[in-house]
Structure 1
Amino acid sequence: MSEDNKQSKIALVTGAGSGIGRVTALGLLEDGFIVVLAGRRAEPLQTLVADAASRGQTALAVPTDVTDPASVQALFDTIEKTYGRLDVLFNNAGVNAPAIPMDELPLEKWFATLNTNVTGVYLCARAAFGLMRRQSPQGGRIINNGSISAHVPRPFTAPYTVSKHAVTGLTKSLALDGRAFNIVASQIDIGNALTELSERMTRGVLQANGTTAPEPMMDARHVADAVRHVAAMPLTANILNMTVMASSMPFVGRG
């Protein structure tokens, strides 16, 4: 481990190859973090590493399947071996399921959503908790990607809604269990950030009254800015829950 690595703060972003993860990784790099990039696809991670290097920034790509305990363990073993510590985890990787009646939804879609959005988030939080507990100085920050669906559902989104309610419970447990070890946990609930996956919402989303309507969107960089703000706070202060949303989206008053 080099002297530069000892002086730099280390952040890990899961789901870093695209969307919110990619924009957030770029923001943390701008803030001076060394950023470890985790995701299932190696190519976009390596592209981001090259982009960072061209600006004199340091990123490390570690292709990872967050639903696989061995893959997650290998990711954190690499972080500990390379840098000796982890200061911030942005637990971002997640998937959705088709918006259809639950009795028509293939069970494999239920399991895939829960495996990524709950088990994957737990596995990464668990490994980060262990490393942050062992390292010196002890402690660190875990930031979970929640959703407005952690508060209220959209029609026909039971798997995703259940998963994000579970993330809220995990965030609160981490915030409590981490106190003794200077480990701080936060959750950022996101509403309608424009990414490759959410672009379809600009053409119409099923509403609670049965109609389909386009919804206002916001630039994903506002989510990245929220993560950056939380990541920059000292471990003596925290934002436990934050909602970042397109101002006019149908959330307040939903239902």
Structure 2
Amino acid sequence: MLRRCIQRRMSSSFFNGKVAIVTGASGTIGGAIANALADDGATVFMAARRVEKMRMLEREGLHSIGTDITDENSVVTLFEHVKKKCGKIDLLINAAGIAAPDVSIEELSAADFLQVLNVNVLGSFLCAREAFRHDCKRIINIGSISSMAPRPNSAAYTASKFAIQGLNRALALDGRQRNISVGVLHPGNVASELLSPEIFKQRQDQEGLLDLNDLVRSVLLMASMPPSANVLELTIMPTTQPLVGRG
């Protein structure tokens, strides 16, 4: 009985008729989330700069729009286009993100630091602002466990994910009076294009890597909550990843 109940709650019928925007959809995580939402019946607009990669994913219910989330006009145009085409926007997934070069703080350039903040923080802010303006009722930000336990040589990325944590809470507070739910998912180690082959193998061998499907299921869980419920923060990581403590 419990299994049937869970299956009904996670069924595709919840997303039928829903309109979603997924940023960073040309990447591993964003693309997987966009695909899953479309599979479950949503009309999904993928937003990223790498249009060619998104077009390879296009099918019924899955559309691509070339967007630079660090450019205010580009973001405004994205949301206006979706609203005009569909009449509403139900869900925003802020999945776009980049990492800085793996170098010491002494070697990290101001340009590289600012580039990470522009994509990871400014881009998320601009998209969330437009979501508020168009009365989008649910926003899910993709954070990182780096906002809890940084790695060495990650000043730019870690700073950006701490900022996402603060932005998420501020947005959740501002959305409360308008019944707009805002939450953040903090993934641990997950296979993505941000990892070099060397880092991929190292983390897989020493700490474990999260199955991408499990990350996507977590996003769908957050997105399928009723309007009266908000998953403010959710952390998902490999069971073997050493985050919780020593031992």
Tell me if both proteins adopt one fold, taking TM over 0.5 as the criterion: yes
Contact 1:189/1:241 (CA < 8 Å) preserved in 2? yes
Contact 1:153/1:161 (CA < 8 Å) preserved in 2? yes
Deviation at 1:214, TM superposition (A): 4.1
**Which residue of structure 2 aligns with residue 92 of structure 1?**
95
1:64-109 per-residue CA deviation (whole Å, 9 max, x = no partner) reads 1111111111111111111111111010100001221112112111
User: Aligned to 1:202, which of 181, 200, 203?
Assistant: 200
Q: Secondary structure in 1 aligned to 2:164? A: helix
User: Aligned to 2:177, which of 174, 177, 180?
Assistant: 180
Q: 1: distance between equivalents of 2:215 and 2:201? A: 22
Deviation at 1:18, TM superposition (A): 2.3
Matched residue type, 2:24: G
Matched residue type, 1:89: L
1:137-174 per-residue CA deviation (whole Å, 9 max, x = no partner) reads xx510000000011121001111111101101111011
Matched residue type, 2:242: P
Moved over 3 A (4+): none
1:110-153 per-residue CA deviation (whole Å, 9 max, x = no partner) reads 01000001100100011111101xxxxxx510000000011121
Structure 2: state its 5+ residue gaps.
Answer: 1-15
Q: How does 1:211-250 map to 2 (within 5 A)?
A: 214-250=206-242
**Which residue of structure 2 aligns with residue 208 of structure 1?**
none
Q: 2: distance between equivalents of 1:219 and 1:198? A: 15
**Which residue of structure 1 aligns with residue 10 of structure 2?**
none
Q: What's the TM-score, normalizing by structure 2?
A: 0.89
Q: What's the TM-score, normalizing by structure 1?
A: 0.86
**Which residue of structure 1 aligns with residue 41 of structure 2?**
32
Q: Does 1:127 align with 2:124?
A: no
Q: 1: distance between equivalents of 2:231 and 2:187? A: 15
Q: Does 1:70 align with 2:79?
A: no
Structure 1: state its 5+ residue gaps.
Answer: 1-6, 133-138, 206-212
Q: Does 1:153 align with 2:137?
A: no
User: Aligned to 1:106, which of 99, 109, 116?
Assistant: 109
Q: How many residues align?
A: 229
Q: Secondary structure in 2 aligned to 1:248? A: coil
**Which residue of structure 2 aligns with residue 253 of structure 1?**
245
Matched residue type, 1:231: A
Contact 1:20/1:221 (CA < 8 Å) preserved in 2? no
Q: Does 1:8 align with 2:21?
A: no
Contact 1:202/1:215 (CA < 8 Å) preserved in 2? no
Contact 1:79/1:86 (CA < 8 Å) preserved in 2? yes
Q: 2: distance between equivalents of 1:101 and 1:175? A: 34
**Which residue of structure 1 aligns with residue 52 of structure 2?**
43
Matched residue type, 1:67: T
Contact 1:202/1:214 (CA < 8 Å) preserved in 2? no
Deviation at 1:199, TM superposition (A): 5.5
1:194-233 per-residue CA deviation (whole Å, 9 max, x = no partner) reads 123335333336xxxxxxx743101111111111111111
Aligned-pair identity (%) = 41
Q: 1: distance between equivalents of 2:22 and 2:244? A: 29
